[in-house]
């Protein structure tokens, strides 16, 4: 009886997934999706697990997300994985997160899907604050995928939106000081050339998704998000499924984007 109910639930889920896919497949899909991966620790806490297990499960969800985005034709994916403020967490938790990150970036180096799909991988943030071993892995992954341009995958790691703007301003100021750039030539387009996301032809997310029920950006892509559609949902990141992504895209398709006009 229990097995029969379980199979019934699975069948209903698959039917609902197909129905959502039918709804969104012919509509305009966001080219660039950014996601704030929130709720890993609360997911673990509610199951009476060590916080690092929440981060580990969240990292597994990221792998599924990449498959879904490829299937949906989403070219740019930017994930908020570790903020500047996260360094203030207990040292043991930060160390565990760094270990998980090392494992995932080591896997990315030889991930057949990354190379088959020509995914350009980039870490945006103050990478110099990360452990040297992780910095090296990141550099190796970025070098190995630097020539790819079919899909872009960005990890916002040691990232802060204010820090990004400050770093861009410092770089511009230095160029002006050296005579490489004139003050009168500094405008919005010039400024964007010095943001962490300048390697992408589409820096501005069409949609920003945040999991866990929180409804704020927490410093994520402050410059780039000026006209992004925001979507918040009451699901912890480890429990994020393809139906959540399809619902978000359906909501995106129902909105009218005016860009201030």
CATH topology of domain 30-254: Undecaprenyl pyrophosphate synthetase (3.40.1180)
The residue extents of the domains of the chain are 30-254
What pLDDT digit, counting tens, does each position of 16-69 carry? Answer: 999 999 899 889 999 999 999 999 999 999 999 988 899 999 999 999 999 999
Q: Is 50 a catalytic residue?
A: no
- pLDDT-flagged residues of the chain (< 50): 2-4, 6-7
Q: pTM for the complete prediction?
A: 0.92
What pLDDT digit, counting tens, does each position of 70-86 carry? Answer: 999 999 999 999 999 99
Q: Are 151 and 68 in contact (CB under 8 A)?
A: no
Which entry of 26, 40, 50, 86 is annotated as an active-site residue? 86
User: How much is the pLDDT for 259?
Assistant: 76
Q: Is 154 a catalytic residue?
A: no
């Amino acid at each position: 009886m229990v097995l029969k109910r379980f199979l019934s639930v699975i069948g209903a889920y698959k039917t609902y997934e197909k129905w959502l896919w039918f709804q969104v497949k012919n509509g305009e899909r966001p080219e660039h999706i950014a996601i704030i991966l929130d709720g890993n620790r609360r997911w673990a806490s509610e199951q009476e697990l060590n916080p690092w297990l929440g981060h580990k499960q969240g990292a597994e969800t990221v792998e599924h997300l990449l498959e879904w985005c490829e299937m949906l034709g989403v070219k740019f994916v930017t994930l908020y994985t570790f903020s500047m403020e996260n360094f203030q967490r207990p040292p043991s938790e930060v160390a565990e997160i760094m270990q998980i990150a090392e494992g995932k970036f080591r896997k990315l180096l030889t991930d057949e899907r990354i190379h088959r799909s020509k995914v350009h991988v980039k870490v945006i943030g103050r990478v110099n604050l990360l452990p040297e071993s992780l910095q090296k892995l990141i550099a190796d992954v970025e070098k190995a995928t630097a020539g790819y341009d079919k899909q872009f995958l960005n990890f916002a790691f040691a990232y802060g939106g204010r820090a990004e703007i400050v770093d861009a301003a410092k770089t511009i100021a230095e160029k002006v000081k050296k005579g490489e750039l004139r003050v009168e030539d500094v405008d919005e387009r010039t400024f964007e050339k010095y943001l962490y996301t300048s390697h992408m032809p589409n820096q501005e997310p069409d949609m920003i998704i945040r999991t866990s029920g929180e409804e704020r950006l927490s410093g994520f892509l402050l410059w780039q998000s000026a006209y992004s559609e925001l979507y918040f949902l009451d699901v912890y990141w480890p429990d994020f499924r393809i139906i959540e992504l399809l619902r978000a895209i359906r909501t995106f398709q129902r909105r009218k984007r005016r860009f201030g006009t």
